[in-house]
Structure 1
């Protein structure tokens, strides 16, 4: 029975001159597993492309990725990219003959942590892939578009071609088995060489260990002689230490006699110090009594000074009131002007209250509170909107001036129509 062509996964190796090598996915997996090495790619980072090819030798998906090879041409054992899953999640790319492909590269990576292992192709790289797949150097089974008249006449030729393709697949399998056997022989040879190197290294380590043992024995003999010398030195030092102890005992006796003398002198000094301290305490008490007397005199003088100041202030106030009374008797009138209240005539008995708080006096004449009068006065002097904007500044839009403090309403009279409290409430509702 003739085999039907189906979707095939392949891997293309790029070089400076174009596509240097083509592999089916099983062959590439053998390279990844270390079964097959590629010495011609030793110590290089290679640009590759995983492609999905349909039965008409047309590219369906492309994943452009890197792969490192060591000095022997073996693939990086830590490499692990889910190529087929990335291809299934790729973005829409250019049309290479079978409609827009699914494309995965560094700039179009659906999984961010795989981005560092990908590369961006040039337009010519996509064309190289398309042409390489069409050349079919991998020997893939494919469908050929034939005219209906010649379809029956080519049945035998198709059968021969299918048989040839089967022979080609068997030949590839035989070559792969041969390469694997050769690889196993190389591994056995390398294992034998490594074992011989290890045996040689073990012999050398044993020789070095024997030499170190001889050196340690010689050092031990020298150390024993040094220990004997140290024992003699310790005996000499012990005799010297005994002599030192006797000298210290004599010094201790001298220390006792000196301590007794010091105690006698210390007692005499202590008595003298107590007598001096008593004298100083007596003098301090006398000073404290003098300070108390001075503080008492100072307090009485301060009270007298305060009394005189109060008397002086009362006399001055009485003098001012007397002068103001005389001026009032002569017909003099005290008139002030305040915005909103106009010219105010201040009686003599209200002058003190006016001087204490002129703003409150004017507000009372306008029949409003002091705070409302101050807000109205600010509005009267500069009739602009005082609403605070979200930016932190003031609206400052010119508005109509309210001439009477009694008609002024904060939040209404000093705001434009947009920022009045009533409008805000209606907008909120």
Structure 2
């Protein structure tokens, strides 16, 4: 095992011991100070990011949007920290308490997970969001970002660590691994003595590699093969607006829609208009046979298309026979992230919500709302697509667990 990685783990555990005992006011003041520091070091962060952007020539253009950091995005990161400071501290809460038949007082208390490891790709905002959320919830974080964003991540981590140190708080609450090799990432996935949980942030390839090879417990996040289903009694303008927003507003992110399903009863009327609206925004459409009969400009969809997360201006389109057929298709091909039904029939909308096996299921709203900030969590450390421990956008509460504190007066069990 890499000795420097072990030292990072040891420092994280030492920091977490202190963090878990900090009061809420101290944590909030530090978060606001970190936000102010990001604002005041804006030029330094942007200069580092320009170097990363200049070196990102091999990165597909669709991913450079995630890498870019500008004044607005720095302001968004800083405001995210301030929003986290304004949220209730889960570790200051006792979930419930009771006295059992033996006279024991039992308290169920919310406590930090411990040391959280995050392996992520070219998304510098993760450095800040993860630091804010883990710090407020009393956890230490070890970050390993991709090589494409290394200069930006180093600049951000330096500012955050210096701010903590200036307030006599443990800088090792956040540590960035600067070695971006796959070998070190693999060792991090096996750092079971020091990391309590590992969260991958990135494309499906990264996520599945971590899930399949890590010995540290993993919370699976991110991959978003998201669907919009237009039901038989949908409002055409609403269906068009939601579909275009879900696909076009920011196509490179995990909550962008990748598939459009449409009920056969309205396909002839609806699909040409929705398809034209999408194509007006530069979306390449790939359809099944029935969809291409209605919109001949579509390319033929392959079997692989139904399982592909494009992160691009591409969308696959399918005409389905019924609500039941749509639900079965989505549950089979989805990554269980976010799905939408557009319908005037609330009962059919509720059936869709109840039967779809995904973290976030919408009636008459865009998938783009699946976001920790939008949900009121301040920020998110990821969007969990699994069922154990956490599901959907992960905020402060999802970075804690529980313990039981039991107080007696001499009881022994008979």
TM over 0.5: no
Which structure has the bigger radius of gyration?
A: 1
TM-score by length of 2: 0.18
TM-score by length of 1: 0.17
Greater share of helix: 1
